[in-house]
Amino acid sequence: MIPLRYGADGTGRREDPTMRAFRADRFGQFVHWGLYALPAGTWKGRTIEFAAEFLMQSAGVSREEWSALTADFTLDGFDPAAWARTAKRMGARYVTVTTKHHDGFCLWPSAYTDFSVAATPSGRDVLGEILEAYRAEGLATHLYYSVLDWHHPDWRATVDSDADREAFERYLRFATDQLLELAERYPQVRGFWFDGTWDASVKANGRWTHEIEQLLKERIPGAIVNSRLRADDHGARHFDSNGALMGDYESGYERRLPAPWDLSVTAHDWEACATLTQASWGFHDSAWAERGRKTPAQIVEQLAQTVSLGGNLLLNFGPRGDGSLAPVEVALAEEVGAWMAVNGPAVHGSGPAAGWDYPGWGFYTAPLEHTAPQVPETPDEDPTGIVHAIVVRIPVSGLLTIALPAGVALRAVRALADGTELPFTPLDAHTVQLAAPAPTGMPAVLVLETGPAGPADGLSEPNPDVALV
């Protein structure tokens, strides 16, 4: 073990009620909204095929020109209640909102900068209104904060001189002031989501990353902080130099997921974040963004894969410059929501089905309280419980093969959507087969009712009448 002052604060999961609620939520909505939604990927007639929120940098826009966008941030279509309703109907249980992205523009009237909503025509506390709208719908709220800041004169990506050091220390004081200001103004938030922490300047300041996490948790007891904030004494990020997770959950999976069979991630809490379009988080009004737009079935598959591996999915929405949601994003949310209204139990309050191997045609999830004892460790332990089988890919044979963990028998299979019982055939003591559900374009969920295996369960020899696939 390497001695560390700014490494992980503990090992193992947090098991307090706030963290358990976050874990059980499984599905959150990410919202990227700021000045970048106004040009939406195009500057002076030139469309840049890169994330809209990077336009200031990718189109080489000066601070002055970018700041002038504040005049157009007029909130003409801003309807946070509609955002919150859309998120709730989609099945999201929490929201993570950008308070300040890399361009430095703040969605709240910060006392520490002029570059905020206070400088826009309405002067309204946009962030406060958004948080209130989501709370009214019963969703928990988390605040995204970019440490990287292209607007602030003291921001440094690298610290190469004494002058840089002094500037960056001033910058960290500014960031501390802003973060404590956020905690004071919005004490009901459940967590903080840090970003823009990858530069050498931040990595060399593990002490600051550690201190600000502690300070925020003092101000908001139970606050949940993502691993992306943290660096240790040696600049290791997410996991410290001893391999222990820093922060409360790992947040390194961005626009990608762990492999479906990678059970190593079930050792800790984690959250992946995903875009709806090709690669833009902010609203990008272009054919380029549309080319990569995900379908509802793809989103549901990502969600199922995430939950099967014990993670949360934070699905991003990029409202338009006027503050309205793009109809295509609302439509997607509705379709995902229609699926969640029926199949939500396979997601909310669920986690990995321990002992159930990745089946190839989909994913298994199990209610969190059953996550551990699916496979009995002692003869007295009751393995009875349900496992959800989320079918995302129907094999060409039209048959689903289910490999049961040792000691577990399958009692019944039902369709979650309508409760229909589905017949299955044992192939041997540990394997059953059944006809796959008819394709609908969206994943089907089967409820597998399990119990302890007895002598009558399964066949001791393979059944020669059933074709193996």
The binding site for ligand FHN (CB under 6 A) comprises 51, 53, 195, 254, 273, 281
* Amino acid identity, position 37: A
Report which DSSP code applies to 106. Answer: B
Torsion of CA 57, 59, 65, 69, to 10 degrees: -90
* Rounded Cα gap, residues 153 and 113, in angstroms: 11
Q: How far is the CB of 384 from ligand FHN (least distance, A)?
A: 40
Instruction: Identify the bridge partners of residue 142 per DSSP, sorted by sequence position.
Output: 96, 191
Contacts of 385 (CB under 8 A, 6+ apart): 366, 367, 370, 373, 374, 450
In this complex, which beta carbon is closest to ligand FHN, that of residue 51 or of residue 444? 51
Report which DSSP code applies to 241. Answer: T
- Reduced to 3 states, what is the DSSP secondary structure of residue 273? strand
Q: How far is the CB of 271 from ligand FHN (least distance, A)?
A: 10
Q: How far is the CB of 8 from ligand FHN (least distance, A)?
A: 22
In this complex, which beta carbon is closest to ligand FHN, that of residue 51 or of residue 446? 51
Q: How far is the CB of 16 from ligand FHN (least distance, A)?
A: 25
Handedness of CA 13, 17, 20, 26 (dihedral sign): negative
Helix (H) or strand (E) holding 328: helix 327-343
Q: How far is the CB of 444 from ligand FHN (least distance, A)?
A: 31
Q: How far is the CB of 38 from ligand FHN (least distance, A)?
A: 16
In this complex, which beta carbon is closest to ligand FHN, that of residue 208 or of residue 281? 281
In this complex, which beta carbon is closest to ligand FHN, that of residue 88 or of residue 237? 237
Q: Record the tokens describing residue 150, joined without a space.
A: 């292209």
In this complex, which beta carbon is closest to ligand FHN, that of residue 52 or of residue 427? 52
Contacts of 3 (CB under 8 A, 6+ apart): none
In this complex, which beta carbon is closest to ligand FHN, that of residue 237 or of residue 370? 237
* Amino acid identity, position 405: P
Q: Record the tokens describing residue 287, joined without a space.
A: 């054919």
Q: How far is the CB of 49 from ligand FHN (least distance, A)?
A: 15
* Rounded Cα gap, residues 216 and 175, in angstroms: 12
In this complex, which beta carbon is closest to ligand FHN, that of residue 129 or of residue 195? 195
Q: How far is the CB of 187 from ligand FHN (least distance, A)?
A: 24
Q: Record the tokens describing residue 460, joined without a space.
A: 């001791």
In this complex, which beta carbon is closest to ligand FHN, that of residue 293 or of residue 414? 293
Residue least distant from ligand FHN (Cβ): 281
In this complex, which beta carbon is closest to ligand FHN, that of residue 132 or of residue 254? 254
In this complex, which beta carbon is closest to ligand FHN, that of residue 126 or of residue 389? 126
* Rounded Cα gap, residues 156 and 201, in angstroms: 7
Least Cα distance to 403 among 424, 421, 379 occurs for 424
* Rounded Cα gap, residues 311 and 27, in angstroms: 9
Handedness of CA 46, 49, 55, 59 (dihedral sign): negative
* Rounded Cα gap, residues 195 and 240, in angstroms: 17
Contacts of 120 (CB under 8 A, 6+ apart): 70, 71, 73, 74, 75
Q: How far is the CB of 39 from ligand FHN (least distance, A)?
A: 15
Q: How far is the CB of 431 from ligand FHN (least distance, A)?
A: 41
